[in-house]
Amino acid sequence: MRVRGAGLIASSAVTALKIAAQKSPAEDPGSFMRDLSDAARVLLETRPTAVSLPNGIRYVMHRVNRAKANATSGADLKLVASKAADEFVELTRTAVERIGEIGAKRIRDGVVVLTHCNSTAAISVMTTAWRQGKKFEVYATETRPRFQGRLTARVLARLGIPVTLILDDAVRYFMQDVDMVLVGADAITANGALVNKVGTSMVALAAHEVHVNVNVAAESYKFSPETMIGELVEIEERDPSEIISAKALSQIGRRVKVRNPSFDLTPPEFVDAIITERGIIPPLGAMLILQEVFGVLTPEELTEYQTYKLSEA
């Protein structure tokens, strides 16, 4: 949790994979691939829900696997891995900037925006609109139990954007004063469902009830290719100690269970628009983004995207 935000998680993982590639002592292609695949598996196990991380790893592994047939040494593949990693990190940077430019058009003067958690892409939309001279205010949820919303509030406040920090539980209370919801994404499924920080679905439900539009800022590498063939996005559950200490729990009772899901799923019917670096799409357009980014993949071709078959792709 020292690295937060799906885009930063992805670029950090890809940078780690690049470091592993550069430090591999392997001299032949086969040995190098084993080293790189081992490192990839370790990284893939760190954050199972944020699809940007596996997509970043796949971006590099796909290019290395493709170059493997013509490689004569481990050094050849090391260069390919390093170049691919640099390309992906640059992609994450430019994508966020482009989303800011496109999404800023949806923010009008005088509106009230509600945001949840800490999304680099969503922040880019708000900061770009503010720098364009638009005046608006923001409600930011605390986003318990890790309080990522406080980070969002701090970034926006430093730019001079009026921010009100609110309890997650108070979303419905304040929703009547909100003109638009703007959140990020940890994953987008093929049918346009949103996987994001737990509590997002409740925010979207409250917005839907009072007819407030829900906008999602998401880079194209956050769309999940596995969901094209029916795979489900794994929802990560974190340590219960984030919610309650062992001592406090013991005072409540040994039979009490504590569950701490980090993410939840928002149905596509509660999402009005997804802002990507390729343009703004409705949730049903998610499949088009997946096909544009990953191609029309058969189950056999998707073996390359399965975490347990990286070395065989």
Is the preceding peptide bond at 162 cis, omega within 30 degrees of 0? no
Q: Which residue has the tokens 């839907």?
A: 208
Measured CA to CA, the distance from residue 300 to residue 160 in angstroms comes to 51
Say whether 186 is catalytic.
yes
Active site residue 169: no
- HSE on the CB side for 28, CA within 13 Å? 2
CB atoms < 10 A from the CB of 287, how many? 18
Identify which of 309, 307, 311, 312 has the alpha carbon closest to the alpha carbon of residue 48: 307
Q: How many CA atoms lie within 13 A of 52 on its CB side?
A: 29
In the set 35, 117, 168, 272, the catalytic residue is 117
Contact 163, 132 (CB under 8 A): no
Catalytic hit among 109, 177, 179, 186: 186
Q: Distance between CA 7 and CA 75 in Å, rounded?
A: 29
Residues tagged active-site: 117, 186
